[in-house]
Structures are given as structure tokens and as C-alpha cells.
């Protein structure tokens, strides 16, 4: 632990730890495997533009050296309408635990993300036993719309990403009039909107490489260490009685 002067009467000195730059950058201990990304989209239409943008994002991440998996939301039950042992729920949760970064892409519907997008996020718990499956992982948010450019869906997803304790990158993408941006084969046409998708995936890759091996340290909190220590002390005292 780095040296620091502790003159904080309300802080437990045994649990307080000033940030240590050495633990944030350890090149020798960096993972060598391809960064792993899970991509979610918010529509089950036959020609879903959020799905098409998601596929473009997956291609870009793989071209940059990552491994990308896309979750198909078709068949995922509504939260609380089925047990968490449902195969689609288990598939989603397994992918969330596997990945190191995520991409959420939703159409904007009635000025918000779609219910299909929200259902997927609602099935992802803040904790699975002692594991927080999303905490410290990177997130990029994108949206498509049938009309003029808007940012309502990405703004909502940013709030959810923060709630899920994810590291949401600054850049984002919003594709207006998405029906004009894809060819008959489902590939995105060259445009400034496509360039922005490239920018977002590039930034997501960089942030993931920077943080994936130190995620546990980045989200390690004094308040949680204090809570754990107090709970342990209580259990020890109860056993001693």
C-alpha cells in the first residue's frame, strides 16, 4: 500500500487504502486472450435495424481482435413470468458472466428504449451469489430510429449501465432513419453514421483492454470492505457467545 497521511477520524484505518497506481497498470499480468464482448439488441422484427447495427458492431470488434457473441432475445420470457432456470435466461446470464464488455443497441420506441431491450437487462442480476456479473465491465450504447436523430434510448441505457455498475464509455451512436442506412444484404452503407459506429467500437475495445484485468480493483469500495468486516465481526461474536 502506498504511503499516505491518515488524519480522518471517521475512517477505519485498517480498511482505508489510497489508490495505488502500480495496481492499475501491470503489463506483465495483462491477459493475452482476445477481449470478450456480448452484444444485445432490442427488436425481434424480421428486418431489425438494431440487429443489423449489432452485427456490424460484432464484425468491427472481431476485426480489432476481439471475440463477439450476439444474444438473440426471441423467446426470452418476461421477468418474473418464468424461473431463472429457463434456458434462455440461463443462456443470457452465462454470456454476461463470460464477457468483459457489452454493447447495447435499441430502437427508440415512444421516446424510450424498447421493452425487449429492458427485459434483457432486467434478467441480468446485480449479483449471482458472491459474483457481481456486470460490475467493472465496459459498456457501449447505441440506438436506431425511424425518424430524426434522437438520444433518448442511449441516455436511458446509460442510466441502466451505471445502475449495473458498468464502465460506460463516453462515445455513443444514434442512427436516424435507419431504413435508409442499410443495403438489401443488410450491410450498413458508408456514411458518417457508420463511421461513428466504428469510433464507438474502437473506443470500447480500448477501454476494455485498459480495464478488464484491473476491474476488480477499480470497483473495490471502502464502504463495502467496511460492511464485510462488520458482518464478519458480528458472526465471530455470535459464535463466541
Q: Can you give the pLDDT at residue 153?
A: 96
Contact 41, 51 (CB under 8 A): yes
Q: Mean pLDDT throughout 151-179?
A: 95
Name the pLDDT band for 1 (thresholds 50, 70, 90): very low
Q: How far apart are CA 56 and CA 63, in angstroms?
A: 11
Residue 188 to residues 21, 51, 56, 177, Cα–Cα distance (Å): 41, 11, 7, 12
Looking at the DSSP assignment, which residues form a beta bridge with residue 139? 102, 168
Q: Mean pLDDT throughout 52-68?
A: 95
Q: Mean pLDDT throughout 5-17?
A: 70
Q: Is the pLDDT confidence value at 207 over 80?
A: yes
Describe the chain by its helix, strand, coil percentages, rounded to 5: 40, 15, 45
* C-alpha closest to that of 106 among 174, 207, 169, 56: 174
Between helix 115-122 and helix 152-163 the angle, nearest 10°, is 10
Residues across the chain? 241
The DSSP line for 49-72 is HHHHHHHHHHHHHHHTT-EEEE--
**CA contacts within 13 A on the Cβ side of 46:** 0
What domains appear along the chain, each with residue ranges and CATH number? Answer: 33-240 (3.40.50.360)
Q: Can you give the pLDDT at residue 126?
A: 83
Name the pLDDT band for 2 (thresholds 50, 70, 90): very low
Q: Can you give the pLDDT at residue 13?
A: 76
Mean pLDDT value across the chain: 89
pTM of the model: 0.85
Higher pLDDT, 20 or 189: 189
Amino acid at each position: 500500500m502506498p504511503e499516505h497521511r491518515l488524519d480522518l477520524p471517521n475512517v477505519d484505518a485498517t480498511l482505508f487504502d489510497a489508490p495505488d497506481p502500480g495496481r492499475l497498470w501491470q503489463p506483465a499480468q495483462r491477459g493475452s486472450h482476445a477481449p470478450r464482448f456480448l452484444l444485445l439488441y432490442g427488436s425481434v422484427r424480421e428486418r431489425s435495424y438494431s440487429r443489423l447495427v449489432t452485427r456490424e458492431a460484432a464484425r468491427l470488434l472481431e476485426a480489432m481482435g476481439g471475440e463477439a457473441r450476439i444474444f438473440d432475445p426471441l423467446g426470452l420470457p418476461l421477468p418474473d413470468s418464468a424461473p431463472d432456470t429457463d434456458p434462455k435466461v440461463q443462456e443470457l446470464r452465462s454470456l454476461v458472466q463470460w464477457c468483459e464488455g457489452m454493447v447495447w443497441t435499441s430502437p427508440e420506441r415512444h421516446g424510450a428504449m424498447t421493452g425487449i431491450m429492458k427485459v434483457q437487462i432486467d434478467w441480468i442480476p446485480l449479483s449471482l451469489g458472491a459474483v457481481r456479473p456486470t460490475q467493472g465491465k465496459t459498456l457501449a450504447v447505441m440506438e436506431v430510429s425511424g425518424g430524426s436523430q434522437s438520444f433518448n434510448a442511449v441516455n436511458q441505457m446509460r442510466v441502466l449501465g451505471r445502475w449495473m455498475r458498468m464502465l460506460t464509455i463516453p462515445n455513443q451512436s444514434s442512427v436516424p432513419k435507419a431504413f435508409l442506412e442499410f443495403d438489401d444484404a443488410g450491410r450498413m452503407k458508408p456514411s458518417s453514421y457508420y463511421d461513428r459506429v466504428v469510433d464507438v467500437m474502437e473506443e470500447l475495445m480500448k477501454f476494455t483492454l485498459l480495464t478488464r484485468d484491473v476491474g476488480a480493483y477499480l470497483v473495490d469500495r471502502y464502504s463495502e470492505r467496511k460492511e464485510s468486516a462488520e458482518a464478519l465481526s458480528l458472526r465471530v461474536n455470535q459464535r463466541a457467545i
